[in-house]
Amino acid sequence: MSLLSFLPHRISQRLTALYFTVSSFSLQRRPQTTQTSTMVGMTVTKIPALKDNFMYLIVCNTTRAAAVVDPVAPERVLEVVQEQNCKLNQLLTTHHHWDHAGGNEALSDRFRQNPDWGELRVYGGQDERIARLTHPVKQDDTFGIGNLRVRCLSTPCHTTSHICYYVESETERAVFTGDTLFLAGCGRFFEGTPVQMYDALIGKLSQLPDDTQVYCGHEYALQNLRFGHTIEPNNEDIRVMLERAQAADLEGRRALVPSTIGLEKRINVFMRVQHPDMRAKFDTSEPIEIMGLLRAAKDKF
């Protein structure tokens, strides 16, 4: 019999409440804590992995069909799948780098070992460096996750076969941007050019509705906003977000993801290369040139 059963009801209730307060507080401080956004049509769970990667579980609320984005730590993903009582059968790879696609083989193997789970469909840009790819995708290819609609955006630059996934329910929108668009930043141009990143950020991602939630592959918000603040010291939106990022970092929580497309247009200097302030700063009217100069400056920052 537990100690609590000897205590008067009110005291035991308070002790229980205190226990849950303390345990949820300590959970918040653990970097491996998941964060779930339950919307009307879809639920997205952010699952930290490795040093600063995010995996995402996307669930259709109507059918409980689920897809996972970049499951580098498959066993952790399977724990969350079980907690959420959903049916995982799709794996969305943003790009071939190990910290994103490094779990493809292990997760596919787990499905082979458990035939009753059904088949795991593995999506990604056509690239032999992405293991276990079963469904190669290109720009504007579409597929479903239960009742959710997915549209693929080809965004080569960080890697040649990088794909972002735009997911819609009847009422909500989200985009999973891997290492192309970060909160207040973008990925390095390992296999591409400023022209390609311009096409990705301005030609494609900026065209999505402003309320689209942005789920990126890493959270580098603090460094990115510090950099943005040096480029646009008079941008009040950047200053406010920088303060928020500093507070979040002090608390040990990487809590700023998701962002939105509308917010990124205000705080992300790479999304603002066409803005008059940026043209004045770099003394050129050529946004692609600004994109290249910004990336070079950030690489040295």
Q: Where are the beta strands (DSSP E) in the chain?
A: 35-38, 42-49, 53-60, 65-69, 87-92, 121-125, 135-137, 142-145, 148-154, 163-168, 173-178, 181-182, 185-186, 213-216, 259-260
Q: Examine the residue annotation and report whether 95 is marked as an active-site residue of this protein.
A: yes
Is residue 158 annotated as part of the catalytic site, yes or no?
A: yes
Q: How far is the CB of 123 from Zn ion (least distance, A)?
A: 17
199 a catalytic residue: no
- CB 200, min distance to Zn ion, A: 14
Choose, from 100, 162, 199, 229, the residue flagged as catalytic: 100
Q: Which sign, positive or negative, has the C-alpha torsion 119, 124, 126, 128?
A: negative
Helix (H, G, I), strand (E, B) or coil at 36: strand
Residue 179 is among the residues annotated as catalytic for this protein:
yes
Active site residue 135: no
Which amino acid is located at 299 in the chain? D
Residues that bind Zn ion (CB under 5 A): 97, 179
Active site (annotated) includes residue 96: no
Please identify, using beta-carbon distances, which residue of 100 and 173 lies nearer to Zn ion: 100
| Candidates 97, 162, 199, 229; catalytic one | 97
**283 an active-site residue?**
no
Q: Which is nearer to Zn ion, 41 or 217 (CB)?
A: 217
Report, in Å, the least distance between residue 9 CB and Zn ion.
Answer: 55
For tokens 């910004």, the residue is: 294
What is the CA 134 to chain-centroid distance, rounded?
Answer: 23
Minimum gap (Å) between residue 46 Cβ and Zn ion = 18
For Zn ion, the closer of residues 97 and 132 by Cβ is 97
Q: CA-based angle 188:97:218, to the nearest 5?
A: 60
Of 97 and 266, which CB lies nearer to Zn ion in the complex structure?
Answer: 97
Spatial CB neighbours of 82, under 8 Å, sequence gap ≥ 6: none
Catalytic residue among 70, 96, 162, 179: 179
Q: Please give the positions annotated as active site.
A: 95, 97, 99-100, 158, 179, 218
